[in-house]
Amino acid sequence: MGSKEYNIAIAGVTGAVGRVFLSILEQRKFPIKNLIPLASHRSAGKTITFAGEEIEVRELNADSFKGIDIALFSAGASRSKEYAKYAVDSGAVVIDNSSAFRLDDDVPLIVPEVNRRDIDGHKGIIANPNCTTIIMVVAIKPVYDISPVKRIVVSTYQSVSGAGATGMTELEDQLREIICNKNSKVIPKIFPVQIANNVIPHIDVFYDNGYTKEEMKMVYETHKIMGDDSIKISATTVRVPVMTSHSESVMIETEDNVSIEQIRKALEEAEGVVLKDDFANEVYPTTLDSSGNDDVYVGRIRKDLSAENGISMWVVGDQLRKGAALNAVQIAEELIK
Ligand code: 25A
Ligand code: L14
Protein backbone atom coordinates (compact mmCIF):
# COMPACT_ATOMS: atom_id res chain seq x y z
CA MET A 1 0.00 0.00 0.00
CA GLY A 2 1.58 3.19 -1.26
CA SER A 3 0.17 6.25 0.47
CA LYS A 4 0.59 7.20 4.10
CA GLU A 5 -3.10 7.79 4.67
CA TYR A 6 -5.77 5.36 3.61
CA ASN A 7 -9.30 5.39 2.30
CA ILE A 8 -11.41 3.20 4.56
CA ALA A 9 -14.95 1.91 3.98
CA ILE A 10 -17.06 0.40 6.78
CA ALA A 11 -19.92 -1.83 5.66
CA GLY A 12 -22.48 -2.16 8.47
CA VAL A 13 -21.38 1.09 10.13
CA THR A 14 -24.70 1.59 11.98
CA GLY A 15 -24.59 -1.84 13.66
CA ALA A 16 -23.23 -2.82 17.06
CA VAL A 17 -19.77 -3.60 15.66
CA GLY A 18 -19.83 -0.75 13.11
CA ARG A 19 -20.16 1.90 15.83
CA VAL A 20 -17.24 0.43 17.74
CA PHE A 21 -15.17 0.47 14.53
CA LEU A 22 -15.56 4.26 14.41
CA SER A 23 -14.46 4.80 18.00
CA ILE A 24 -11.49 2.42 17.76
CA LEU A 25 -10.20 3.92 14.48
CA GLU A 26 -10.42 7.35 16.10
CA GLN A 27 -8.85 6.28 19.41
CA ARG A 28 -5.92 4.51 17.75
CA LYS A 29 -5.40 7.40 15.29
CA PHE A 30 -5.53 5.10 12.29
CA PRO A 31 -4.13 7.13 9.35
CA ILE A 32 -7.33 7.82 7.41
CA LYS A 33 -7.68 10.03 4.34
CA ASN A 34 -11.40 9.42 3.68
CA LEU A 35 -13.87 7.37 5.65
CA ILE A 36 -16.88 5.99 3.76
CA PRO A 37 -19.70 4.77 6.03
CA LEU A 38 -21.95 2.13 4.41
CA ALA A 39 -25.13 0.40 5.58
CA SER A 40 -28.47 -0.72 4.21
CA HIS A 41 -31.01 1.57 2.49
CA ARG A 42 -32.66 1.91 5.93
CA SER A 43 -29.71 3.95 7.18
CA ALA A 44 -28.70 5.72 3.95
CA GLY A 45 -28.85 9.49 4.44
CA LYS A 46 -28.37 9.34 8.23
CA THR A 47 -25.09 10.78 9.50
CA ILE A 48 -22.38 9.35 11.70
CA THR A 49 -19.73 11.39 13.50
CA PHE A 50 -16.09 10.57 12.95
CA ALA A 51 -13.20 12.66 14.31
CA GLY A 52 -15.57 15.56 14.92
CA GLU A 53 -16.94 15.48 11.40
CA GLU A 54 -20.44 14.47 10.30
CA ILE A 55 -20.42 12.04 7.39
CA GLU A 56 -23.48 10.79 5.51
CA VAL A 57 -24.13 7.04 5.45
CA ARG A 58 -24.40 5.60 1.93
CA GLU A 59 -26.20 2.50 0.78
CA LEU A 60 -23.84 -0.45 0.31
CA ASN A 61 -23.70 -1.47 -3.37
CA ALA A 62 -21.34 -2.79 -6.03
CA ASP A 63 -19.90 0.69 -6.66
CA SER A 64 -19.17 1.54 -3.03
CA PHE A 65 -15.47 0.73 -3.15
CA LYS A 66 -13.85 2.94 -5.85
CA GLY A 67 -10.53 4.20 -4.46
CA ILE A 68 -10.92 2.30 -1.18
CA ASP A 69 -7.73 0.80 0.32
CA ILE A 70 -9.26 -1.17 3.19
CA ALA A 71 -12.90 -2.29 3.51
CA LEU A 72 -14.07 -3.34 6.97
CA PHE A 73 -17.18 -5.54 6.70
CA SER A 74 -19.61 -6.17 9.57
CA ALA A 75 -23.04 -6.40 7.98
CA GLY A 76 -23.61 -10.14 8.22
CA ALA A 77 -22.41 -13.10 6.18
CA SER A 78 -24.86 -12.74 3.30
CA ARG A 79 -23.78 -9.11 2.65
CA SER A 80 -20.13 -10.16 2.76
CA LYS A 81 -20.76 -12.97 0.28
CA GLU A 82 -22.52 -10.55 -2.05
CA TYR A 83 -20.29 -7.46 -1.84
CA ALA A 84 -16.75 -8.40 -0.74
CA LYS A 85 -15.84 -9.34 -4.31
CA TYR A 86 -16.60 -5.82 -5.54
CA ALA A 87 -14.26 -4.39 -2.91
CA VAL A 88 -11.50 -6.82 -3.90
CA ASP A 89 -12.04 -6.07 -7.62
CA SER A 90 -11.64 -2.36 -6.81
CA GLY A 91 -8.24 -3.11 -5.29
CA ALA A 92 -9.23 -2.92 -1.63
CA VAL A 93 -8.23 -5.41 1.04
CA VAL A 94 -11.35 -6.69 2.81
CA ILE A 95 -11.24 -7.46 6.54
CA ASP A 96 -14.42 -9.41 7.10
CA ASN A 97 -16.14 -9.86 10.47
CA SER A 98 -18.73 -12.36 9.28
CA SER A 99 -18.57 -16.12 9.09
CA ALA A 100 -18.68 -16.02 5.24
CA PHE A 101 -15.03 -16.79 4.37
CA ARG A 102 -13.39 -17.89 7.63
CA LEU A 103 -12.80 -21.50 6.68
CA ASP A 104 -11.85 -20.85 3.02
CA ASP A 105 -8.36 -22.18 2.29
CA ASP A 106 -7.14 -18.99 0.60
CA VAL A 107 -8.46 -16.67 3.33
CA PRO A 108 -6.23 -16.14 6.39
CA LEU A 109 -8.10 -16.21 9.72
CA ILE A 110 -6.20 -13.88 12.00
CA VAL A 111 -5.77 -13.05 15.67
CA PRO A 112 -2.60 -10.91 15.62
CA GLU A 113 -1.38 -12.13 19.04
CA VAL A 114 -1.49 -15.72 17.74
CA ASN A 115 -0.88 -15.91 13.99
CA ARG A 116 -0.12 -12.46 12.55
CA ARG A 117 2.33 -14.04 10.06
CA ASP A 118 -0.52 -15.81 8.26
CA ILE A 119 -1.68 -12.39 6.94
CA ASP A 120 1.05 -12.52 4.28
CA GLY A 121 -0.73 -15.17 2.21
CA HIS A 122 -3.92 -13.12 1.70
CA LYS A 123 -5.54 -12.73 -1.71
CA GLY A 124 -7.67 -9.67 -0.95
CA ILE A 125 -9.79 -11.04 1.90
CA ILE A 126 -8.70 -11.53 5.52
CA ALA A 127 -11.23 -12.99 7.95
CA ASN A 128 -11.81 -11.91 11.52
CA PRO A 129 -12.70 -14.95 13.66
CA ASN A 130 -15.83 -15.49 15.73
CA CYS A 131 -15.76 -13.41 18.93
CA THR A 132 -15.79 -16.29 21.45
CA THR A 133 -12.98 -17.97 19.51
CA ILE A 134 -10.82 -14.82 19.48
CA ILE A 135 -11.24 -14.28 23.22
CA MET A 136 -10.42 -17.94 23.97
CA VAL A 137 -7.32 -18.25 21.77
CA VAL A 138 -5.77 -15.06 23.17
CA ALA A 139 -5.85 -16.78 26.60
CA ILE A 140 -4.82 -20.23 25.32
CA LYS A 141 -1.85 -19.31 23.12
CA PRO A 142 0.50 -18.46 26.05
CA VAL A 143 -0.33 -21.87 27.60
CA TYR A 144 0.21 -23.66 24.27
CA ASP A 145 3.65 -22.05 24.02
CA ILE A 146 4.62 -23.79 27.30
CA SER A 147 3.14 -27.18 26.39
CA PRO A 148 0.93 -28.21 23.42
CA VAL A 149 -2.77 -28.13 24.21
CA LYS A 150 -4.38 -31.56 23.59
CA ARG A 151 -7.97 -30.90 24.62
CA ILE A 152 -10.31 -28.00 25.40
CA VAL A 153 -13.74 -28.12 27.04
CA VAL A 154 -15.41 -24.71 26.98
CA SER A 155 -18.78 -23.27 28.03
CA THR A 156 -19.61 -19.70 27.06
CA TYR A 157 -21.85 -17.01 28.57
CA GLN A 158 -22.50 -14.69 25.62
CA SER A 159 -23.94 -11.20 25.80
CA VAL A 160 -26.87 -10.02 23.69
CA SER A 161 -24.81 -7.53 21.65
CA GLY A 162 -23.22 -10.61 20.05
CA ALA A 163 -26.42 -10.76 18.05
CA GLY A 164 -25.93 -7.16 16.92
CA ALA A 165 -27.71 -3.92 17.74
CA THR A 166 -31.11 -5.64 17.61
CA GLY A 167 -30.01 -8.06 20.35
CA MET A 168 -29.45 -5.17 22.76
CA THR A 169 -32.80 -3.60 21.87
CA GLU A 170 -34.55 -6.91 22.52
CA LEU A 171 -33.11 -7.32 26.03
CA GLU A 172 -33.91 -3.68 26.90
CA ASP A 173 -37.45 -3.94 25.57
CA GLN A 174 -38.14 -7.19 27.45
CA LEU A 175 -36.71 -5.85 30.73
CA ARG A 176 -38.84 -2.71 30.41
CA GLU A 177 -41.94 -4.79 29.69
CA ILE A 178 -41.29 -6.97 32.75
CA ILE A 179 -40.26 -4.24 35.19
CA CYS A 180 -42.37 -1.26 34.13
CA ASN A 181 -45.44 -3.00 32.74
CA LYS A 182 -45.33 -5.94 35.20
CA ASN A 183 -45.72 -8.28 32.27
CA SER A 184 -43.92 -11.58 33.05
CA LYS A 185 -44.27 -13.08 29.56
CA VAL A 186 -42.85 -11.32 26.52
CA ILE A 187 -42.73 -12.40 22.89
CA PRO A 188 -39.22 -13.12 21.58
CA LYS A 189 -38.21 -11.57 18.23
CA ILE A 190 -34.62 -12.46 17.45
CA PHE A 191 -33.67 -14.80 20.29
CA PRO A 192 -35.34 -18.25 20.20
CA VAL A 193 -37.06 -17.71 23.58
CA GLN A 194 -37.33 -14.83 26.10
CA ILE A 195 -33.83 -13.61 27.06
CA ALA A 196 -34.75 -11.34 30.00
CA ASN A 197 -34.40 -13.33 33.27
CA ASN A 198 -33.30 -16.33 31.25
CA VAL A 199 -30.27 -18.35 30.06
CA ILE A 200 -30.50 -19.91 26.58
CA PRO A 201 -28.25 -22.83 25.49
CA HIS A 202 -28.75 -22.06 21.81
CA ILE A 203 -26.73 -19.65 19.59
CA ASP A 204 -26.98 -19.87 15.80
CA VAL A 205 -28.48 -22.94 14.08
CA PHE A 206 -28.32 -26.59 15.14
CA TYR A 207 -26.29 -29.15 13.18
CA ASP A 208 -27.13 -32.87 12.89
CA ASN A 209 -24.52 -33.75 15.54
CA GLY A 210 -26.52 -31.91 18.23
CA TYR A 211 -24.05 -29.00 18.40
CA THR A 212 -24.84 -25.49 17.20
CA LYS A 213 -23.01 -23.66 14.43
CA GLU A 214 -21.60 -21.26 17.07
CA GLU A 215 -20.15 -24.27 18.94
CA MET A 216 -18.65 -25.80 15.81
CA LYS A 217 -17.15 -22.41 14.82
CA MET A 218 -15.14 -22.59 18.06
CA VAL A 219 -13.80 -26.01 17.00
CA TYR A 220 -12.92 -25.31 13.35
CA GLU A 221 -11.74 -21.74 13.82
CA THR A 222 -9.50 -22.61 16.79
CA HIS A 223 -7.87 -25.36 14.70
CA LYS A 224 -7.20 -22.96 11.85
CA ILE A 225 -5.88 -20.06 13.97
CA MET A 226 -3.68 -22.29 16.16
CA GLY A 227 -2.52 -24.28 13.10
CA ASP A 228 -3.22 -27.54 14.95
CA ASP A 229 -6.16 -29.73 13.92
CA SER A 230 -5.28 -32.34 16.53
CA ILE A 231 -6.66 -30.32 19.47
CA LYS A 232 -9.85 -32.01 20.72
CA ILE A 233 -12.45 -29.32 21.41
CA SER A 234 -15.97 -29.50 22.78
CA ALA A 235 -18.03 -26.33 23.27
CA THR A 236 -21.39 -25.34 24.77
CA THR A 237 -22.38 -21.80 23.80
CA VAL A 238 -25.01 -20.03 25.88
CA ARG A 239 -26.78 -16.65 25.68
CA VAL A 240 -27.11 -14.73 28.95
CA PRO A 241 -28.95 -11.45 29.66
CA VAL A 242 -25.81 -9.28 29.71
CA MET A 243 -25.40 -6.30 27.34
CA THR A 244 -21.71 -6.55 26.39
CA SER A 245 -18.76 -8.92 26.88
CA HIS A 246 -18.64 -12.67 26.60
CA SER A 247 -17.44 -14.90 29.48
CA GLU A 248 -16.00 -18.39 29.06
CA SER A 249 -15.28 -21.26 31.42
CA VAL A 250 -12.31 -23.01 29.79
CA MET A 251 -10.70 -26.35 30.71
CA ILE A 252 -7.40 -26.99 28.93
CA GLU A 253 -5.48 -30.26 28.93
CA THR A 254 -1.81 -29.94 28.04
CA GLU A 255 0.71 -32.56 26.94
CA ASP A 256 3.02 -31.95 29.92
CA ASN A 257 2.34 -31.12 33.52
CA VAL A 258 2.42 -27.33 33.79
CA SER A 259 2.29 -25.57 37.13
CA ILE A 260 -0.24 -22.86 37.99
CA GLU A 261 2.68 -20.51 38.65
CA GLN A 262 4.03 -21.07 35.11
CA ILE A 263 0.60 -20.37 33.61
CA ARG A 264 0.14 -17.22 35.68
CA LYS A 265 3.55 -15.92 34.69
CA ALA A 266 2.94 -16.63 30.99
CA LEU A 267 -0.46 -14.91 31.04
CA GLU A 268 0.93 -11.95 32.98
CA GLU A 269 3.50 -11.39 30.25
CA ALA A 270 1.16 -12.16 27.34
CA GLU A 271 0.18 -9.52 24.78
CA GLY A 272 -3.48 -8.48 25.11
CA VAL A 273 -4.09 -10.26 28.43
CA VAL A 274 -4.78 -8.87 31.91
CA LEU A 275 -4.44 -11.32 34.78
CA LYS A 276 -6.99 -10.68 37.51
CA ASP A 277 -6.60 -13.70 39.69
CA ASP A 278 -6.38 -13.75 43.46
CA PHE A 279 -9.02 -16.04 44.92
CA ALA A 280 -7.78 -15.51 48.50
CA ASN A 281 -8.93 -11.90 48.17
CA GLU A 282 -11.96 -12.81 46.03
CA VAL A 283 -10.45 -11.18 42.95
CA TYR A 284 -11.56 -12.42 39.50
CA PRO A 285 -12.69 -10.70 36.30
CA THR A 286 -16.33 -10.09 35.30
CA THR A 287 -17.95 -8.55 32.23
CA LEU A 288 -17.97 -5.13 33.90
CA ASP A 289 -14.14 -5.24 33.93
CA SER A 290 -13.81 -6.03 30.24
CA SER A 291 -16.66 -4.00 28.72
CA GLY A 292 -15.26 -0.93 26.97
CA ASN A 293 -11.70 -2.22 27.36
CA ASP A 294 -9.33 -3.82 24.88
CA ASP A 295 -7.77 -6.69 26.82
CA VAL A 296 -8.88 -10.25 27.51
CA TYR A 297 -9.16 -10.75 31.28
CA VAL A 298 -8.24 -14.08 32.90
CA GLY A 299 -8.82 -15.34 36.43
CA ARG A 300 -9.91 -18.37 38.50
CA ILE A 301 -6.83 -20.27 37.27
CA ARG A 302 -6.71 -23.63 39.04
CA LYS A 303 -5.79 -27.28 38.54
CA ASP A 304 -8.66 -29.19 36.96
CA LEU A 305 -9.68 -32.01 39.28
CA SER A 306 -10.77 -34.38 36.49
CA ALA A 307 -7.73 -34.44 34.19
CA GLU A 308 -4.10 -35.14 34.98
CA ASN A 309 -2.63 -32.19 33.05
CA GLY A 310 -5.75 -30.04 33.18
CA ILE A 311 -6.14 -26.36 34.01
CA SER A 312 -9.43 -24.51 34.45
CA MET A 313 -9.81 -20.79 33.99
CA TRP A 314 -12.38 -18.00 33.58
CA VAL A 315 -11.89 -15.76 30.55
CA VAL A 316 -13.78 -12.52 29.82
CA GLY A 317 -13.55 -10.11 26.89
CA ASP A 318 -15.48 -7.31 25.18
CA GLN A 319 -16.68 -9.14 22.08
CA LEU A 320 -17.47 -5.91 20.19
CA ARG A 321 -13.87 -4.75 20.73
CA LYS A 322 -11.29 -7.60 20.89
CA GLY A 323 -13.93 -10.05 19.62
CA ALA A 324 -14.71 -7.93 16.56
CA ALA A 325 -13.78 -4.32 15.77
CA LEU A 326 -10.49 -4.05 17.66
CA ASN A 327 -9.14 -7.31 16.26
CA ALA A 328 -10.04 -6.16 12.73
CA VAL A 329 -8.36 -2.78 13.21
CA GLN A 330 -5.27 -4.56 14.58
CA ILE A 331 -5.23 -6.61 11.36
CA ALA A 332 -5.47 -3.35 9.36
CA GLU A 333 -2.54 -1.96 11.39
CA GLU A 334 -0.47 -5.05 10.51
CA LEU A 335 -1.35 -4.54 6.83
CA ILE A 336 -0.03 -0.97 6.68
CA LYS A 337 3.13 -1.64 8.74
O1 25A B 1 -24.29 -13.19 9.53
P2 25A B 1 -23.41 -13.11 10.72
O3 25A B 1 -21.97 -13.01 10.37
O4 25A B 1 -23.68 -14.22 11.70
O5 25A B 1 -23.78 -11.73 11.46
C6 25A B 1 -25.12 -11.36 11.78
C7 25A B 1 -25.16 -10.06 12.53
O8 25A B 1 -24.46 -10.23 13.75
C9 25A B 1 -23.83 -9.02 14.10
C10 25A B 1 -24.07 -7.99 13.03
O11 25A B 1 -25.25 -7.21 13.38
C12 25A B 1 -24.43 -8.88 11.86
O13 25A B 1 -25.29 -8.20 10.96
N14 25A B 1 -22.44 -9.40 14.35
C15 25A B 1 -21.56 -10.05 13.58
N16 25A B 1 -20.41 -10.28 14.22
C17 25A B 1 -20.57 -9.79 15.46
C18 25A B 1 -19.78 -9.71 16.64
N19 25A B 1 -18.54 -10.22 16.68
C20 25A B 1 -21.87 -9.21 15.52
N21 25A B 1 -22.33 -8.62 16.61
C22 25A B 1 -21.53 -8.59 17.68
N23 25A B 1 -20.30 -9.12 17.72
P24 25A B 1 -25.21 -5.63 13.72
O25 25A B 1 -26.56 -5.22 14.17
O26 25A B 1 -24.05 -5.29 14.58
O27 25A B 1 -24.93 -4.94 12.36
C28 25A B 1 -25.75 -5.01 11.29
C29 25A B 1 -25.15 -3.97 10.31
O30 25A B 1 -25.32 -4.49 9.01
C31 25A B 1 -26.04 -3.52 8.24
N32 25A B 1 -26.83 -4.13 7.19
C33 25A B 1 -27.86 -4.98 7.32
N34 25A B 1 -28.36 -5.30 6.12
C35 25A B 1 -27.63 -4.65 5.21
C36 25A B 1 -26.65 -3.88 5.90
N37 25A B 1 -25.78 -3.11 5.29
C38 25A B 1 -25.86 -3.05 3.92
N39 25A B 1 -26.74 -3.74 3.19
C40 25A B 1 -27.66 -4.55 3.79
N41 25A B 1 -28.54 -5.21 3.05
C42 25A B 1 -26.89 -2.83 9.24
O43 25A B 1 -27.32 -1.58 8.75
C44 25A B 1 -25.97 -2.69 10.42
O45 25A B 1 -25.10 -1.60 10.23
P46 25A B 1 -28.90 -1.23 8.83
O47 25A B 1 -29.02 0.07 8.08
O48 25A B 1 -29.70 -2.38 8.34
O49 25A B 1 -29.24 -1.08 10.32
C50 25A B 1 -29.36 0.17 10.95
C51 25A B 1 -30.21 0.02 12.15
O52 25A B 1 -31.52 -0.44 11.73
C53 25A B 1 -32.07 -1.38 12.62
N54 25A B 1 -32.51 -2.56 11.83
C55 25A B 1 -31.81 -3.67 11.57
N56 25A B 1 -32.55 -4.54 10.85
C57 25A B 1 -33.75 -3.97 10.66
C58 25A B 1 -33.74 -2.70 11.28
N59 25A B 1 -34.79 -1.89 11.24
C60 25A B 1 -35.87 -2.30 10.60
N61 25A B 1 -35.97 -3.49 10.00
C62 25A B 1 -34.94 -4.35 10.00
N63 25A B 1 -35.04 -5.54 9.38
C64 25A B 1 -31.03 -1.69 13.62
O65 25A B 1 -31.39 -1.13 14.87
C66 25A B 1 -29.74 -1.07 13.07
O67 25A B 1 -28.98 -0.55 14.11
O1 L14 C 1 -19.87 -15.67 13.82
O2 L14 C 1 -24.85 -14.19 18.29
O3 L14 C 1 -18.98 -13.76 14.34
O4 L14 C 1 -23.27 -13.94 19.77
C5 L14 C 1 -20.60 -13.76 16.50
C6 L14 C 1 -21.65 -13.42 17.49
C7 L14 C 1 -22.25 -15.03 15.16
C8 L14 C 1 -23.30 -14.70 16.21
C9 L14 C 1 -19.93 -14.56 14.37
C10 L14 C 1 -23.68 -14.18 18.62
C11 L14 C 1 -21.14 -14.06 15.13
C12 L14 C 1 -22.66 -14.51 17.57
Q: What is the CATH number of the domain that holds 17?
A: 3.40.50.720
161, 133, 165, 130: which is closest to 292 by C-alpha? 161
225 shares a domain with 149: yes
Q: Catalytic one among 41, 122, 202, 246?
A: 246
In a domain, 1, yes or no: no
Clarify whether residues 232 and 331 are in a common domain.
no
Question: What span, in angstroms and rounded, lies between the C-alpha atoms of 317 and 296?
Answer: 5
pLDDT tens per residue, range 217-241: 999 999 999 999 999 999 999 999 9
pLDDT at residue 126, rounded to an integer: 99
In the reported structure, the alpha carbon of residue 165 is separated from the centroid of ligand 1 by a whole-number distance in angstroms of: 7
Q: Given strand 246-254, what is the order of strands in its sheet?
A: 232-236, 149-157, 246-254, 310-317, 296-303, 273-275
- Domains contained in the chain, number: 2
- Does any ligand 1 atom lie closer than 6 A to the CB of residue 161? yes
Q: Picking from 172-181, 250-259, 312-321, which range would have the lowest pLDDT averaged per residue?
A: 172-181
Does residue 157 register a pLDDT over 60? yes
| Same domain? 35 vs 175 | no
Do 35 and 109 belong to one domain? yes
Q: Is 132 in the pocket of ligand 1 (CB under 6 A)?
A: no
Would you report the helix, strand and coil content of the chain in percent, each value rounded to 5?
35, 25, 40
For residues 63 and 164, state if they share a domain: no
Give the ligand whose atoms come closest to the C-alpha of residue 60.
1
More confident residue, 129 or 183: 129
pLDDT at 256 over 80: yes
Cβ of 99 less than 6 Å from ligand 1: yes
Q: Whose CA is nearest to atom 6 of ligand 2?
A: 162
- 175/261 same-domain check: yes
The answer on 270 and 156 residing in a single domain is yes
> What does the pLDDT read at residue 329?
98
Tell me what percent of the residues of the chain surpass a pLDDT of 70.
Answer: 99
Which ligand places an atom closest to the C-alpha of 13? Answer: 1
pTM: predicted TM-score of the whole model, two decimal places: 0.93
Q: What is the DSSP string of 80-100?
A: HHHHHHHHHHTTPEEEE-SSS
**Do residues 232 and 219 both lie within one domain?**
yes
At residue 184, does pLDDT exceed 90? no
Q: Are residues 231 and 219 in contact, defined by beta-carbon separation less than 8 angstroms?
A: no
Question: How high is the pLDDT of residue 255?
Answer: 98
Q: Are residues 62 and 166 in the same domain?
A: no
Nearest CA to ligand 1 atom 10: 164
Interval between CA 15 and ligand 1 midpoint (Å): 5
Tell me 62's DSSP state: T
Q: Check pLDDT > 80 for residue 7.
A: yes
* Residue 184 sits in the same domain as residue 197: yes
Does 123 lie in the same domain as 158? no
Does 285 lie in the same domain as 166? yes
Phi then psi for residue 93, to 5 deg, are: -95, 130
Across the range 143-151, mean pLDDT stands at: 98
Closest CA to 153 of 258, 236, 240: 236
Pocket of ligand 2 (CB under 6 A): 99, 130-131, 158, 162-163, 203-204, 214, 217
75 Cα–ligand 1 center, Å = 5
How far apart (Å, rounded) are the C-alpha atoms in residues 5 and 24?
A: 16
- CATH number at 272 reads 3.30.360.10
Question: Contact, 214 vs 127, CB < 8 A?
Answer: no
Residue-wise pLDDT for 273-299, tens only, equals 999 999 999 999 999 999 999 999 999
pLDDT of residue 1 exceeding 80, the answer is: no
Residue 260 maps to a domain:
yes
> What was the pLDDT predicted at 3?
55
Indicate the helix (H) or strand (E) that contains 152: strand 149-157
Domain interval for residue 87: 6-129+324-336
Task: Tell me whether residue 180 is one of the annotated catalytic residues.
Answer: no
Kindly indicate the confidence band of residue 185, based on its pLDDT and cuts at 50, 70 and 90: confident
Asked, for residue 232, whether it belongs to a domain, the answer is yes
320, 17 Cβ separation under 8 angstroms: yes
Question: In the predicted model, is pLDDT for residue 2 greater than 60?
Answer: no
For residue 105, being part of any structural domain is answered with yes
315 CA to centre of ligand 1 in angstroms: 27
